[in-house]
């Protein structure tokens, strides 16, 4: 797991680690990864 403390998009330093379903798109199709742990920036919404 990556250890990130600042948002690469806006530099916000209070990104949070969350665990929820990830919904993404790949080549025009949407997919869901259940129970994925990732970081989310509270400032700009960037997901890492």
Contact positions toward Zn ion, by CB under 5 A? 7, 9-10, 12, 41, 43-44, 46
Residue 31 or 45 having the CB closest to Zn ion: 45
User: Which two three-digit tokens encode residue 44?
Assistant: 């700009």
Q: How far is the CB of 19 from Zn ion (least distance, A)?
A: 19
Spatial contact of 21 and 36, defined as CB atoms under 8 Å apart: yes
CB of 28 to Zn ion, least distance (A): 26
The two tokens of residue 2 are 């990556």
Nearest distance from C-beta of residue 35 to Zn ion, angstroms: 23
Distances (CA, A) of 27 to 10, 19, 30: 26, 24, 8
């Amino acid at each position: 797991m990556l250890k990130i403390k600042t948002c690469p998009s806006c530099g916000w330093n209070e990104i949070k680690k969350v665990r929820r379903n990830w919904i993404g798109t790949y080549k025009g199709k949407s997919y869901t990864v259940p129970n994925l742990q990732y970081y989310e920036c509270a400032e700009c919404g960037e997901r890492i």
